[in-house]
Each structure stands twice: as structure tokens, then as C-alpha cells.
Chain A
């Protein structure tokens, strides 16, 4: 049985202009120890998806479909039981290390909180565990800094503390929502390597969200590309990177400036801009912005086409795109 099985997940949100579907029927599975990356730009629904895994959506959100975590259905689970899973069996690392820690509590207390809450450890026992965790995540001189406050640490160190907190109870699944976006690139490298080694060491499953394709390439073995609340392409990271079948994926890759590319070259852009949630087209969310759009694209959401190596793409124009030589064999 897979550790996490998401089927036809639909999430509706209340926006300024009325109700809108933020996530439109996505599905994926994750086995123990597997790493999954979710790539997409603002508004694609990646953060909302993982928030629904943690049951952290706003009260006005409507969730449909199924999320099975280790056999338990998470959609509609009463809050009390959700609390037992959060922090205990699913851990989360957030994007902003500056604000993810409470400035008025010591780090010993904060990292120890999940331990005391879920495992009922005493203050002293929790402290010992916290020390071990902090040392593992690479906080120098951890023993003397247990009673320090978050503002006494740098951004990178705070993120390490956040990781320690997420790992405290030995969760089966670790969710990292843009964990390195707010950090310098040299620190980013260290944090990603830390996450990778911890995940391998403890056999946890990992869901990593990022807008940075390079980060995804280096950290996860499977990936999803999301746009407008749908998964437009999914599969093993290598396969997706090599083939880039979906027009949106191609657009994303082409739009990045590369170090060492010749100067004066214009970057290929995706024409138009991401429409607001309420304005997304009924069929394929990318219809209209895509240069291969036909009428059929606008009416029905495209079904998944399977390519070799478990690589799925939602596009009805794949043949034409391949014919134009845009997809590698």
C-alpha cells in the first residue's frame, strides 16, 4: 500500500470575486522513502495542495476527492485526529525561516514541542532529544545554544531549526514548501543536501515544492508540473527534464536565463499572463496562452496520455508538438 495516495483532489476557495476552484482533480501516489517534487508558478495550487494534506486550509475551503495517508482518509477527518497526525506522522518545513519560529520562545522549547505533545516526553527528556536533533541538523555548539532565541540565529540556521522541528517525532512524510527560496544560494545548497541526507537516512517520503527547476532536478526522483490547479505533466524527474512534453513545461524551461548563454539573446516567453482563479478556462487551464491551442482545448480538460517510463502528460496536441520536433524522443 502506498504511503500517500491522492485521488481526484478538488479544492474550492472563496476569492474576492466569488468561489473558485484552486485545485482541479489532481492525483498522485507516494511510496515510503520516495521523493516527489511539485513545480509551478504562483497561483498554480501547489501550496494549497500540501496545505490540504496537513489539513491547514482556511475554514471556507471546500475539499473533494480522497487523500489516503497510510490507509487513513484525511479528507473530512475530524480536527482532533488531524492534530495527532500533524507534526507526528507528517512534518512540514515552511518557506520563511524568519517568521516560522516564535520569537518569544527558546528553540529548545519550540523544537521540543512536538515531542512533548505527541510522545509525552518530560521536559528533560525532550531537551536531550532536541540536542541530538540540533546536532544532526548542523547547528554549531548546540549544547550551549539550547536556550537561545530565534533572533540570535541566522536565516540558514533558523531553517535548520525548522527542519529539526519537522523531524522531531520521526514522521513518515516530510513536506517542504519552498524551503530555500528565502535563503542565499550557498546556504540553499547546504540546506538541500541536509534534507536529502535526512530523508535517505530515515527512510521518509519527501514532497518538495519549488519554483526552481534546478532545485527539483537535484533533490527529487519524481515530479509534478502544476498549472492552474491541474497537474499538466508528471513522471520521473529525468524523464520530464529530458522530454518536456507539455507546452507549459517547455515554456518554463525556455524562460530561464542560463549562465554562460550568449549575451543579447532574448528569452523565450510564454505569452500573456496567469489568469486569476475565477477566470481559468474550462478545458485545459493553459488554453489561450499555449501556441498549440485548438477549440477542443478550451472545452474539455485533456485526459492523461502515458509516455514511456510512467511519464504522464495532459495535452491533446502531443502528436502535433512531436511532429514539430519540439519533444525529444
Chain B
């Protein structure tokens, strides 16, 4: 029996998937952290302890107190509120950037696997070319040329996700095309598009899900990096990366200013990575053989 080790979404249909998922340490831990991230962003839409834009020079650079739970920054703004609202920027970037990569990249990958021949070659060489440029430098270059700002940051990161998704989709899709049930579909007279949508895409969904989680984490890091350099989210829009950048100058006076956004970034990325690891384990093909 030939089965390439493609994480199989059929595993989701195996009874007890959620039971096992809830026992898997990485998944649970990662899931909790990710949930906290989402919660933070959601809460910030309706309430923050203080307004993140309110400057209070009299109270600047204060350590954590009863009034300001995590202290204040150089302009007297409440750090806790900044973190909560900053979560929004991170998630926004993650969703849209990964979304761009997912939609365009997956489409290209599926096309390459279905058509093969010169179409596949062309698409793969294009991805090779794109991947040859270091990601962050490309993003910097793009924002430098087209202007800084969250929109351009998202586009830059998103464009970089395209070749990654294209390659992964193509590899997994190729494995599915060689399965007998695809041959059976061809023998029925089904065309490439129908086979891609009905057979290939559902069966590579597990791979894509795992990849989305991972790329989300990378997107958050990328946004933080760009904002740190002043190329991403612009003031007064709160951003974890920019908070780090501003904290850098105050390292000796208020070290905690760097710790909180740093920890926020670290936990968000850690949570997403752990969840990705957990998902990959849980969707392992050996589970698809349940009889």
C-alpha cells in the first residue's frame, strides 16, 4: 500500500479526535495561548483599562501600580492598554497576510500539480526566484519603496507567503494525484478542475491547516520586526514591535517597558507554533487507517 506521509484530514473524521486533541500537551498549551491572544484583541474592541492614545506626561515611565497594571511608557500611556490594542494589529496582519499567501499560493500550487509540464516548471521557478530573496529584506525594500504603514506591511508579508504555500501545496497535491482514487475519478471522466476541488483540496487540507498556524506566527514576528524598524504600523496606532523600539531607548530607566511587549510577542508566537506542532501530530496519517 502506498501512502506518502501526507497528514491526512481523514483523521478529523476518526471518532475521538477531540478527545485526543485535548490530551495532547502541545496542542492544549498552544491553543490556550492562542486563545488568550484572540481574547485580548476581542476585549480591546470594547474595553481597555485606559485609552491607549491618552498621554499623561505627569505619570510617564511609571512601574506597574494599582492604577496602571503594567506601568506607563515614555508618553504616559498605559502599557496594558497598548498591549491589548496592539494585539489587534498583530492579528490583523496575521490573518490578511496569511490569507493572501493561502489563496494565491494554494491556487498556484494546485494549478502546478494539476497541469504539470511547463506550467509546473514555470510556477516552481517563480517560487524559487521569490524565495531567493531574504524575506525581511524584501519586506523592508517594499515598504521603503511604497511607503511605511500597516497596509503595505501586510502586503509585503503576504506576498512573501505566496511561494511557501505554493510549494507546499504542490508537493502535497502531487502525492494525492498519484493516489488510486484520483485515477478512479479520471476513469469516470472527471476533469482536472473537478478532481482538484473535490479530491485534492480536501485531502491536503490538513497540511494547509498546519502551515497556516506556522505562517501566522511568522507573520506576527515579521510585523513586529517591521514596526520595530518604523516601517510597519505607524503612530499613534499601537504595535508591539514599535513598543519594543521605543523601549530600547529607555532600557536603563524603565527596563520593564521592553519586557512586556517582548513577552507578548514571544507568547503569541510560541502559542501558534505549539498548536501547529500539536495539529501536525494529531493529523498524522497513521490515524487515517482506523478500521
Contacts and interface: CB of A to CB of B under 8 A. Distances in A.
Asked if the two chains touch in their complex, CB atoms less than 8 Å apart, one says: yes
A276 B14 CA distance: 16
B239 to A, nearest CB: 47
Interface string A1-33: 000000000000000100000000000000000
B290 interface: yes
A16 B17 CA distance: 11
A16 B290 CA distance: 7
Interface string A217-235: 0000000000000000000
Interface residues of A, number: 2
Q: Interface SS of chain A: helix, strand, loop or mixed?
A: loop
Interface in B1-27: 14, 16
A16 B14 CA distance: 9
A149 to B, nearest CB: 21
A170 B162 CA distance: 57
Contacts of A276: 291
B50 to A, nearest CB: 53
Contacts of B291: 276
A276 B16 CA distance: 18
B11 to A, nearest CB: 11
A276 B290 CA distance: 11
Contacts of B16: 16
A96 to B, nearest CB: 10
B39 to A, nearest CB: 34
Contacts of B290: 16
Interface string B268-291: 000000000000000000000011
Nearest to A276: B291
A16 B15 CA distance: 9
Contacts of A16: 14, 16, 290
A18 to B, nearest CB: 11
Nearest to B15: A16
A105 to B, nearest CB: 21
A175 to B, nearest CB: 23
A283 B16 CA distance: 30
Nearest to B289: A16
A174 B291 CA distance: 32
Interface string A262-306: 000000000000001000000000000000000000000000000
Nearest to B291: A276
A16 B13 CA distance: 13
A16 B19 CA distance: 12
A207 to B, nearest CB: 25
A19 to B, nearest CB: 15
A16 B11 CA distance: 12
A50 B59 CA distance: 76
A49 B291 CA distance: 21
Nearest to B16: A16
Interface in B230-259: none
A16 B16 CA distance: 9
Nearest to B14: A16
Contacts of B14: 16
A25 B271 CA distance: 48
4 contacts: A16-B14, A16-B16, A16-B290, A276-B291
Interface of B: 14, 16, 290-291
Closest 4 CB pairs of A and B: A16-B290, A276-B291, A16-B16, A16-B14
Interface of A: 16, 276
